[in-house]
Amino acid sequence: MKRLLLVLAILVFVLSACGVGVSDYDDAVLDGVSNLNLNKPQKAYEDFNRAIEIDSTRANGYVGRANTLNTLGRYQEALKDYNKALEIDPKLANAYVNRGSAYSHMGQYQKAIADYEKGLELDPKIDDPPGFIKRLFSNEPDTDKGIRKHLEFLKQKVKDS
């Protein structure tokens, strides 16, 4: 978590030093990611709202806000933002994977499975999720195995029911 924040800070510093400014939108999204990783979901929510107010045509603000809502257990609201993000960018693998997490928490395992599979199809490397995504997998005993492991867990759960 601290490592991610350090990398983000260095990236912003390097871009600034090179004369490349970070847009207000990107700044708001980075603030939101940082605050979510620092377990400050209310602040993250405000940051992602700010990003969406700046530019509602970009998907990352919606995904970030949805991730925050997911973390807060507000799954129905999260689904709306994931759906909006996917409407903007239907090839956004992390939106599918994160929406799958919301569906999983709601007990809608078939939808979760479909979203995990779509996310993995679009980006096979997404299987190593950031720390805040791992926290979303709280209904699986071993949360450090990644998306493929969670997908197996859900498929077994559906098969057993």
Report the distance separating Cα 5 and Cα 136, nearest Å.
Answer: 20
Nearest to 132 by CA among 85, 94, 103, 159: 94
Can you give the pLDDT at residue 79?
98
Compute how many other C-beta atoms are within 10 angstroms of the C-beta atom of residue 149.
Answer: 15
67 burial (CB, 10 Å; 0-12 / 13-18 / 19+) is buried
Residue 110 has pLDDT above 60, yes or no: yes
| Mean of pLDDT over the chain | 82
In this structure, what DSSP letter does residue 127 have?
A: G
Where do runs of H (alpha helix) occur along the chain? 2-17, 24-37, 41-54, 59-71, 75-88, 93-105, 109-122, 131-136, 147-160
> CA 31 to CA 58: how far, in whole Å?
16
Structure tokens at 90: 């239907």
Question: Over the stretch 62-79, which tens digit does the pLDDT of each residue have?
Answer: 999 999 999 999 999 999
Greatest CA separation found in the chain? Answer: 57
Domain at 22-160, CATH from 3.30.2310.20, 1.10.150.170, 1.25.40.10, 3.30.450.20: 1.25.40.10
Please tell me the least confidently modeled range out of 71-75, 111-115, 151-155: 151-155
